[in-house]
Amino acid sequence: MSIPKLEVPTFELKLPSTNAKVAFRPFLVKEHKALLMAKDGSEEEVARVVEEIVDICTFKKLNMRMLAHFDIEFIFMNLRAKSISEKLELVINCNNCDTRNPFSVHIPNIQVQKSPEHKTKMMLTDDIGIEMKYPRYSDLADTLGNPNEESLFNLLISCVKGVYSASGDYHEVTVDDKQELQEFFDTMTVTQYEQIKQFIETMPKLSHREQVTCSKCGTINTARLENLTNFFL
C-alpha cells in the first residue's frame, strides 16, 4: 500500500479592497517552516515570504504586483487562522505597574480599518490632479524597515497611478516616467507634498484594539495591533 495523499480544505474570503471572492487553502508544514525561518529576519524578508505564501495558498489566481498591501495582510491573517488557530496568544505590559498580562485575540475580529478621510485622487492646483495606487506589500515593508524622508519620497512616487487635468486629460504613469515624476515632485510646494503624504497616512490598514485589565493593579490597558509585525505567526 502506498502512502495516501492528505486532502487540504479550501475556504473563501472577500478582499477588503474590492469585495471580490477569493478561494484559499491553509498553509502547509513546508510553508510554515519558511515562516519560522523568516520570523527573525528583516522586514523585507518577512514581506517576501508572506507574499510567496499568500500567492501559493490562493492558487496563484491573484496578481500579487497589483494587490493592495492590506489585502495581502488580511489574506495572511485568514491563512494563519485556518492553518494554526483562530486565537492569537499575546502579552501586554501594564502601563501602570509593568506587569506582564497575557491575553488572546480572536482573529476573525481583526479587520481592515478604513479612514473616511482617505482618498486616492486629489487636486494639487485648480488644473492639475493626481491619482494614487496602493503600494505593494514588499515596498511598504521596505519603507517601514528603513523609515526616512527619502524612502517615503520614493514610496510616494511608486504609488502614483496617473496625473490628470481639470479638462479631462489623463496621463497614466509608467516606469519610463520615473525621472520626470521625480522632477514633478521636486517642484511641488510643501503643502502639495503634505497633501499627497496623507494618502499614505490614511491608507486602509489591518488594525485591532483590545482592552486588557491588569491582573495585579486593575489598570485597563489598550493593546493596539496594526500590520503583521504585531502578530506575525
Q: What is the mean pLDDT of residues 74-80?
A: 93
What's the rounded Cα separation, in Å, for the pair 76 and 68?
Answer: 13
Task: Report residue 10 as a C-alpha cell.
Answer: 479550501
More confident residue, 143 or 70: 70
Give the CA count within 13 Å in the CB-facing half-sphere of 30: 3
What's the rounded Cα separation, in Å, for the pair 107 and 20?
Answer: 20
Q: What is the mean pLDDT of residues 205-223?
A: 94
Looking at residue 226, what is its pLDDT? 80
Q: What burial class does residue 38 get, using C-beta atoms within 10 Å of its C-beta: 0-12 exposed, 13-18 middle, 19+ buried?
A: buried
Place 231 in a pLDDT band, splitting at 50, 70 and 90: low
Place 137 in a pLDDT band, splitting at 50, 70 and 90: confident
Task: Report residue 84 as a C-alpha cell.
Answer: 494554526
Convert the pLDDT of each residue in 146-204 to its tens digit: 778 888 999 999 999 999 999 999 999 998 898 999 999 999 999 999 999 999 999 99
What's the rounded Cα separation, in Å, for the pair 169 and 162?
Answer: 10
Q: How far apart are the two ends of the chain, measured CA to CA in Å?
A: 37
Convert the pLDDT of each residue in 4-42 to its tens digit: 777 889 999 999 999 999 999 999 999 999 888 887 777
How many other C-beta atoms are found inside a 10 Å radius of the C-beta of residue 136?
21
Looking at residue 1, what is its pLDDT? 67
Q: What are phi and psi of 192, to 5 degrees?
A: -65, -40
What's the rounded Cα separation, in Å, for the pair 55 and 60?
Answer: 5
The chain-wide mean pLDDT, for the chain, equals 90
CA nearest neighbour of 23 among 72, 75, 69, 77 = 75
Give the CA count within 13 Å in the CB-facing half-sphere of 220: 3
